[in-house]
Amino acid sequence: MENSSASPIPRFLPSYLVVGTLFVVLLRYLIARYSYDDIREKTERDHRPPLLPHAIPLLGHILFDFLRDPLQFALTSPIFWQRQPVRLKALFQEVCIIQGAQNIVALFKQRGLSTRFIHHIFLSNVFLLPNEAAEICRRDDSGEYFKPRAGSTVHHHNRIDFHSRVIQNRLLLGPGQSALFGRLSSNMTKRLSCLPINTDWTEISDLMDVFKSDLTAATIDALAGPALVQRHPSFARDIWLIDSNITGFILKKPRFMNFQAHEARDRAFQAVLDWRSWASSNFTPEAVDEEGNDPFWGSSFFRERDKMFSNMDGFNAAAKASEDLSFIWSSNTNGIIASFWITVEVFRDSELLHAVREEVSSCIRDGEVRPPSFDIYKLMHQPLLQAVFAETLRLHVHGFLVRHPHEDRVLNRWTIPGGDWCIASSTPAAMDPEFWCTGESASHGVNEFWPARFLRWDSVTNKLTFSLAGTEGSWVPFGGGSHVCPGRFFAKRQNILTLALMVTLYDCELLADQESLDVPPGTYPLGSVSPRGKVPVKMRRRIVV
């Protein structure tokens, strides 16, 4: 019989190894915990944010809860509720969580922090950017300003970040804005006043359908002209099928696991490819109107982008279609879902609805009620309407604002190491009761829709005024700094005009239960968050005199 005591490995060794490893892990954790508390208490400048203690040496923090439900994690994890920056180690990479309103403001003030990698992920994984063009984007380290970043060797014509922002800003913030906004207003008025609803109550199985079809088509027509949707009637629907599967695309879920979404993306991609080819072959310089737009490309924006991409290396027809599809998706997703919420929030509170209708009707031009024509400037400056818009975004927009500094950056008293990813979440900022539930809003919980958080009584004019003063770093639905959303004015107009049209033209009663309106579990927050379920309503046309 074999004697077990003859084994070369002593019997007690495995237990020693286990105990020893546990001891080292615990010791590391305690040291990290100690240095975290120590650094937290120091107030001098030039300190790296404390590294959150982690037990597993190489792997660092494995945030299973984050991966399972990122929005819930941002709402509840102490990591996001520190009011000061902290560092995490995830595999070999350090990540800085920037938090505390002043630190978020300081992050926005930094110049030249790249966000291009986010666009890359979306373009390559979701919108099928071909490899050659993706490589040009990946290599562009020249930054978004006219003067390229020191040390960058990228050719001027390949500076995609810079060139695309110039053209984008011209459309959304510069001379293209007034014609774009005019087209948006008239398309929205036409589409929303013709919903198949008469003066009897009509049940609609999901109010969101109105937004995903009619309002989406109005928005696409305003940007790209009517030909895209006319030639491809399923385009608006396909955009939303892509949207509801966006994380699957980002994570590269294979086609057999995501068949319907892949089919929708193929169709949407082919639609843009076809529309671009049609616009390019039919365009003539004589078709350009006095504002620089033409009926083929819909606006000078897509025409100028076409020229810009043609000057770049590696951009064939497929690459151009991928970029345009990505832009069309991003100009619809957040704004349309927010427009849905602003409408729901007002229709479900009869007192608020009454007050909103009063403001809206004061902006209808005399005698122009069928369909209503608004004094848009006046409409956009109504205090309650602006407060309702701001509160809608506070409650329903959740996202991570990501930046990648190449070199060390100083944010107030913290030094952020170059090369670390910086992540700020709009969620704790928007949901902090210590900020939002004070003064006259003290009795209104942070989850309550309470637009008065943004209203002040002006004792000089004796009028209510809307104000965002003091909310810097706390109200950040559009991000901030040089990467702040360029579509914010477009979104404001789209939201407030939607609300004005809906409350003027229709009565609407919500039939949905609270659960359908809740945030869906497992939400990856990428901006405006859709409701969990369908939102049935009954609607009827109002008799507008």
Helix axes 177-193, 160-172, angle to 10 degrees: 60
Least Å distance, CB 442 to ligand HEM, is 27
42 vs 138, which CB is nearer to ligand HEM?
138
- Could you write out the DSSP letters of every residue in 149-180? PTT----GGG-HHHHHHHHHHHHHTSTTHHHH
Of 95, 76, 51, which Cα lies nearest the Cα of 402?
A: 95
CA distance 161 to 168: 11
C-alpha–C-alpha distance, residues 414 and 82, integer Å: 14
**Binding positions for ligand HEM, 125-164, rule CB under 6 A:** none
Residue whose token pair is 């039919």: 282
Region near ligand HEM per CB under 6 A, out of 73-81, 125-133, 311-319, 481-489? 481-489
Instruction: For the CB of residue 203, give the shortest distance to ligand HEM in the complex, in Å.
Output: 28
CA-to-CA distance for 239 and 261, rounded, in angstroms? 10
Residue 330 touching ligand HEM (CB under 6 A): yes
Work out which of 371, 486, 533, 536 binds ligand HEM, going by CB under 6 A.
Answer: 486
Q: Does 338 bind ligand HEM (CB under 6 A)?
A: yes
Rounded to whole angstroms, the Cα distance separating 188 from 498 reads 7
Task: Read off the tokens for 467.
Answer: 């104000």
Q: Nearest 5°: CA angle at 272, between 267 and 275?
A: 120
State in angstroms the smallest separation of the CB of 406 from ligand HEM.
Answer: 17
* 298 lines the binding site for ligand HEM (CB under 6 A): no
Considering the rule CB under 6 A, would residue 49 count as an interface residue with ligand HEM? no
Q: Is 340 in the site for ligand HEM (CB under 6 A)?
A: no
CB of 477 to ligand HEM, least distance (A): 4
72, 82, 84, 115: which one binds ligand HEM (CB under 6 A): 115
Taking the complex as a whole, the smallest distance from the CB of residue 86 to ligand HEM amounts, in Å, to 20
d(C-alpha 261, C-alpha 143), whole Å: 33
Structure tokens at 345: 């929030």
- Of 49, 383, 477, 525, the residue at the interface with ligand HEM (CB under 6 A) is 477
- Rule CB under 6 A: say whether 544 interacts with ligand HEM: no
Among 142, 334, 425, 441, interactor with ligand HEM by CB under 6 A: 334
Q: Which is nearer to ligand HEM, 372 or 527 (CB)?
A: 527
Tokens at 50, concatenated: 């404390």
* Residue 405 or 480 with smaller CB distance to ligand HEM: 480
Separation between Cα atoms, residue 19 and residue 11, nearest integer Å: 14
- Residues 293, 294, 296: CA angle, nearest 5 degrees: 140
**Contacting residue, 383, 479, 525, 531, with ligand HEM by CB under 6 A:** 479
Looking at beta carbons only, is 39 or 105 nearer to ligand HEM? 105
The contact pattern for ligand HEM, residues 403-432, with x = CB under 6 A and - = no contact, is ------------------------------
Count of residues interacting with ligand HEM (CB under 6 A):
26
> Which residue's entry shows tokens 């083929």?
296
Q: Residue 491: in which H helix or E strand, if any?
A: helix 488-505
Binder among 49, 487, 525, 531 for ligand HEM (CB under 6 A): 487
Smallest gap from Cβ 248 to ligand HEM, in A, equals: 21
Angstrom distance (rounded) from CA 150 to CA 158: 16
Contact call for residue 536 and ligand HEM (CB under 6 A)? no
Q: Which candidate, 142, 134, 118, 113, places its Cα nearest to that of 323? A: 134
Is residue 528 a contact residue for ligand HEM (CB under 6 A)? yes
Q: Does 300 help bind ligand HEM (rule: CB under 6 A)?
A: no
Q: Which of 478, 493, 506, 530 binds ligand HEM (CB under 6 A)?
A: 478
Min dist CB 187 to ligand HEM, Å, is 14
Least gap, CB of 525 to ligand HEM (angstroms): 10
From the CB of 18, what's the least distance to ligand HEM, in Å?
A: 46
Instruction: Tell me whether residue 85 or residue 399 sits nearer to ligand HEM (CB atom).
Output: 399
What minimum distance in Å lies between the beta carbon of 154 and ligand HEM? 17
Pick the closest to residue 123 from 112, 135, 113 (CA basis).
135
Task: Tell me the C-alpha distance between 297 and 492, whole Å.
Answer: 24
Q: Minimum distance between the CB of residue 474 and ligand HEM, rounded to whole angstroms?
A: 14
Do 385 and 499 meet the contact criterion of CB atoms below 8 Å apart?
Answer: yes
Listing DSSP states for 81-113 in one string gives -SSS-EEEEETTEEEEE--SHHHHHHHHH-SS-
> In this structure, which long-range contacts are made by residues 146-154, counting pairs with CB atoms below 8 Å and at least 24 apart in sequence?
149/112, 149/406
Question: Which of 356, 527, 535, 537 is in the footprint of ligand HEM by CB under 6 A?
Answer: 527
User: Least distance to ligand HEM from the beta carbon of 329, Å?
Assistant: 10
Q: In what order do the strands lie in the sheet with 421-425?
A: 86-90, 93-97, 421-425, 397-403, 526-528
Which amino acid belongs to residue 74? A
Positions that interact with ligand HEM (CB under 6 A): 115, 165, 168, 172, 330-331, 334-335, 338, 393, 397, 399, 401, 477-480, 483-487, 490-491, 527-528
